[in-house]
Chains A and B, each alone.
Chain A
Amino acid sequence: MSRKPENNNGKDEVKILAFLCNWCSYAGADLAGVSRLQYPPNVVDIRVMCSGTISPYHVLKAFQMGIDGVLIAGCHIGDCHYIKGNYMTYKRFQVIRDVLEFIGIGEDRLRLEWVSAAEGEKFAEVIREFTGQVEQAGASPLRTRWEENPANRERIRKAFKPLLP
């Protein structure tokens, strides 16, 4: 994705990383595709078997690397293919949010959504909305800081070190 600093609306061109569980959300995204629902191209995704597999480290790592927003999507509560994986996701999500707040990344950059395999439309809508929200928030402060001064990159890496395994 070409990184233009500004897009037409004068908003920052943002980049979002989505973690999608294989059974529901990835399938929902597939359905959005099959249904040709159009949404902004700012999102790239990583397929995991269950949203419960996503650890806070993954999210922190992404922010450390300068991502502007992270979406975690799993099956609806009760529909988990693995019984209660998404329940753990839900609990972990609270933790991640707190940590992010602690390091100064607002909660508007992180989202948790339940998208079923039949909810192509919902998936597209979530992406549209979340992209808008992240655009509103602008480029990640971490990224802007190292884009101002490449030396900041190393500082950020160090600052994150205790947070990552």
Chain B
Amino acid sequence: MHNINNNNQIPQNDTLVPGTSVSSGTNASVGAVMVVGGGIGGIQASLDLVEMGYRVYLVDSGPSIGGVMGQLDKTFPTNDCSMCILSPKLVEVGSSENIELFTLSDVVGVEGEEGDFTVELRVRPRFVDPEKCTGCGICTEQCRVKVKDPYDADLKRTPLIRVPFPQAVPGVAFIDPTRCLYLLKGKCGECKEVCLADAVDFEQKERTDTLRVGSIVMAPGYRPFDARIKAEYGYGVYDNVVTSLEFERILAANGPTGGHVLRRSDGGPVRKLAFIQCVGSRDTSVGNSYCSSVCCMYATKQSLIAREHQRDIEPSIFFIDMRSYGKGFEEYYRKASREQGVRYVRCLASYAKELRPSGNILIGYTDEDGNAVEEEFDLVVLSVGIEPDAAGLAGVLGVALGEHGFVATDEFLTVKTSRPGVYACGVVEGPKDIPDTVVQASASADMASAGLGAARGELIVHVEHPPEREVVGEEPRIGAVICRCGTNIGGVVDVPAVVEYARTLPNVVFADERLYACSQDTQEWIRDIVREHGLNRLMVASCTPRTHQPLFRDTMRSAGLNKYLFEMANIREHCSWVHMNLPDEATGKSKHLVKMAVGKAALLEPLQEGVSPVTPRALVIGGGGAGMTAALRLGDAGFTTYLVEKELELGGNMRHIFRTVEGGDVGAYLEELVGKVSSHGNIELFLDSTVDVVDGYVGKFHTTLSTPGGPVEVDHGVVVVATGGVEYEPKEGEYFFGRDERVITQAELERRIHQDPGSLAGVRDVVMIQCVGSRNDENPYCSKICCTVAVKNALALKRLNPDAGVHICYRDVRTYGFAEDRYLEARERGVGFIRFDEDEPPEVKHSFGDLLLKVADRNVRGEEVSLGCDLVVLSTGVAANPDAAELGPKLKVPLSADGFFLEAHVKLRPVDFATDGVFVAGLAHYPKTIGESLTQACAAAARAESVLCKENVVTEGVVAWVDEEVCSGCRQCVRLCSYEAIDFDEERGVAVVNSALCKGCGACTAACTSGANTLLGFKQDQIYAQIEAACNPL
């Protein structure tokens, strides 16, 4: 079993299988990839590449990796703490032997071609020796020269010498040379004086490094729009107008106000809070016609978080269209507006003006009834858009930019740039959120490694941990670390008191607190205390083990201890966050949880991980665009792939789509795809077939397919689920659908446009109705693509007949990203847009044989509009494939409430399932465009490849174990195990657990009346110790 957290570390006892690439890779290719930009995109790409067996040079122009995600407080739509989910990845990068980090570095030249590039890097001086610096921060206290802190969005001033932020990687100081007294005038040098590690080095010079890599991934992200340009909102003039990125820092517990939402002008409280949307986006007057895709959601998020911090805050969001189009977004928005006190005002505020003497900000808007309203706010947040910052890097790398200055990429595989061997992921390719960035990151890892198969593993260094120290027989010596988590825990729980208490507990020989237990420097520190105090167990009281246990376990290993000698107490999610107003009780409960964890820790034993061989073959279920792409990627990488399609024909929904919104020829692409798949030497195709029974586990699945020729059994190491989705079928009679042939769906319209334009010749007036079967109580989610599809088809109609009247009745136009350009084009070509309310949908009527549409246009105070029409087109959404309900349990993977497959982690593991070795792509995951589906398929292939490329999977040490001395031979457990992991040894009359099959559920242990069967890591005495500690008073 694996923990749900993404554990990307290459296990030391694992060997890589060299690839047998069939694609363009030459024998001379280099087994290393350069990743430029260390935001979440670059980080994920790096980690994936390492897992796939390539060395990575990760280059960031700043002093630390982390990017914008490192500055965010929480992330939508799960409200996960951004730093909490990011920092394990930061630490992983920092501690990976196979990622070489170049910070304060820029790429200045590239030569060569795909497979073998020579890259020239300019590495700026840090003026601190990273090998010596401990990140202690003493120097920072000495430096008197302060500058604006970019990490805090310039809201706070910070000394020139500093560690960029607590969780920074590398977690060492640097000197901002711009105003350093020593570097400019030869004076001061205080920092050098006080540094005990003698790490400050003023003599460092800029240097140039030359590196050979096989391919390059660009992930340099973006810059936020400069809000000063929209001068009507007074940013930069009025203190109480801030940007969203600044507000993100204001919300952050480690930010300039410690997470308190305060006015900038006077530090006073904020009650009325306003957000103005689309600042610098969807705005041709500033040259940014595209939609920034994330700001509607982050404004909602920031509203919710602000209210979480202070209940009496009343947030208002001034917007044009609410673009909550992604997975879980619409539900998030609904909840925010209906239950969580966020007010949405559909009007773009015209100005923000400061009032005197209050410093309040006045916003003018028009309400739904047409009244001109002026309202005062304490603080106004401008939802600034995303702007590309790619020109320089793109120039050096020689890749083309698109119309808006983002990197131009292939329409179907959105990470492929104009230059072979160079790939792009994240916002540099177009505005997107974190999960979409992560998908592209994995996809670019897939593409970047494609040509390098032959060099796989060549440059990989195996992690050499110090040998595990033998602790059996030793008295437990427990170290207790209590985390403040900034103010997340420290703001509620009396941390020093908990530390004091921990010191009094039996076996605890050391206890102390840390500001961030997960930071890189703390890992260093833990290794130190383990050594200094001769610790043989560790207990960390911090956040949830579900995300952070792997990090600390790795630290245990690097400290020379078995990683299972570690226990966590969750005093954040289960304590400080849920008892925010009860500091005394929360402190008491923390002590209790610490006592329980310490009680268990004392009894922990070292466990051994098992290894199980990998069958280097893949099963892909679903032969639509996503499934075929995944199969091709895996086949190209040299892995035999079984592709199972239940229909007689490959292609899925792509068969019914003719053009992409950008005009790409879907049919031609599909034909090419089908051709390649059908003739691929590594792909075995099963048409008209389905999956019957799935047995086994990661690395070693055994599946029975039902095929026209009877059952076929296949062995494989991974599964990719690409079973797609279906068009929502309008209900009989919904808008006369099925009763009047002039009422059709968008798919049918598209077919007629391309296959039967004659049938549209007499059509003069067309009305489209959006959100049919989406965004209602029955199907609360937004189908994401139908707004763009409607715009696409409306434009096609206008092209066929410029005089045709085309009206689209919508609730919000959700043409996110560059599709906004097509929305603008549609308007300019005279397509009418009429906005209706959910409670007052359009009505289709018959009048003497004519079709009549009546709708209350909310844009003009709900006045009724009457349109005669020849054709009514229903924009029916995408519904989940009903097969999923059956397939999910077979694969032991969950579905969301909407019936789509539910990934392991909505933000950071968008193609993985919690069940190892099973991955998802395409419509099976959520509605998305073709480009997004195919890109996700590449990402799934990359993740699958990281399993297949290894000889073995490492199984967890948490498995059942039968004490043969005690076993009475009752066979209770044998019958009970759902995984058939227990055999009965008839000879000796005892039960024997097969640890490769055992999933570590512990069901058998509860059934064993003789107490012979125990789950390692959750042994009975350990649980009893916890129970006892829980029940006894402190």
Contact = CB atoms under 8 A, between A and B. Distances in A.
Interface string B572-600: 11110111111011101101110010000
B1034 A1 contact: yes
A27 interface: yes
Contacts of A29: 573-574
A34 B592 contact: no
B544 interface: yes
Interface residues of A, number: 51
B578 A39 contact: yes
B589 A1 contact: yes
B1030 A67 contact: yes
B958 interface: yes
Contacts of A37: 578
Contact of B544 (A30, A124, A165): A30
Interface stretch (A76-84, A106-114, A131-139, A154-162): A76-84
Contacts of A54: 1006
Contacts of B1001: 49-50, 52-53, 81-82, 85
A79 B894 contact: yes
A46 B1003 CA distance: 16
A55 interface: yes
A147 to B, nearest CB: 10
B681 interface: no
B1003 A82 contact: yes
Interface stretch (B73-81, B184-192, B819-827): B73-81
A61 B1015 contact: no
Interface residues of B, number: 65
Contact of A41 (B308, B585, B889, B1030): B585
Contacts of A52: 1001-1003, 1006
Interface stretch (B57-65, B126-134, B740-748, B1020-1028): B1020-1028
Contacts of B1030: 15, 17, 44, 46, 62, 65, 67
B730 to A, nearest CB: 29
Contacts of B544: 26, 30, 33
A61 B78 contact: no
B1023 A30 contact: no
A118 B988 CA distance: 46
A45 interface: yes
B372 interface: no
Interface string A53-68: 1110110011001110
A37 B585 CA distance: 16
Nearest to B308: A36
A46 B890 CA distance: 30
B1002 A36 contact: no
A30 to B, nearest CB: 4
B472 interface: no
Given A26-B546, A34-B577, A45-B574, A65 B1028 contact: yes
Contacts of B897: 118
B847 interface: no
B641 to A, nearest CB: 27
A65 B1032 contact: yes
Contacts, number: 157
Given A34-B79, A34-B81, A41 B546 contact: no
Residue from B591, B1026, B1034 whose CB has the most chain A CB atoms within 10 Å = B1026
Contacts of B577: 33-34, 36
A53 B588 contact: no
Interface in A74-124: 78-79, 81-85, 88, 92, 118, 124
A53 B1006 contact: yes
Contacts of B807: none
B269 interface: no
B24 interface: no
A3 B958 contact: no
A21 B582 CA distance: 26
Interface in B1003-1031: 1003, 1005-1007, 1009, 1011, 1015, 1018, 1020, 1023-1024, 1026-1028, 1030-1031
Nearest to A39: B578
A112 to B, nearest CB: 14
Contacts of B573: 29-30, 32-34
A26 B568 CA distance: 13
Nearest to B1000: A49
B976 A88 contact: yes
B892 A38 contact: no
B578 A38 contact: yes
A35 interface: yes
A37 B892 CA distance: 30
Contacts of B80: 34
B596 A46 contact: yes
Residue from A17, A23, A36, A66 whose CB has the most chain B CB atoms within 10 Å = A36
A36 B1034 CA distance: 26
Contact of A35 (B79, B572, B1033): B79
A19 B469 CA distance: 33
21 contacts: A1-B592, A2-B584, A15-B1031, A34-B81, A34-B573, A35-B308, A36-B580, A38-B579, A38-B580, A39-B578, A41-B578, A41-B579, A41-B585, A44-B593, A46-B1026, A48-B1002, A58-B1023, A61-B1027, A65-B1032, A67-B1031, A82-B999
Interface of B: 1, 4, 74, 78-81, 308, 544-546, 570, 572-575, 577-582, 584-586, 588-589, 591-593, 596, 889, 892, 894, 896-897, 914-915, 958, 976, 978-979, 999-1003, 1005-1007, 1009, 1011, 1015, 1018, 1020, 1023-1024, 1026-1028, 1030-1034
Interface of A: 1-3, 15, 17, 22-23, 26-27, 29-39, 41, 44-50, 52-55, 57-58, 61-62, 65-67, 78-79, 81-85, 88, 92, 118, 124, 165
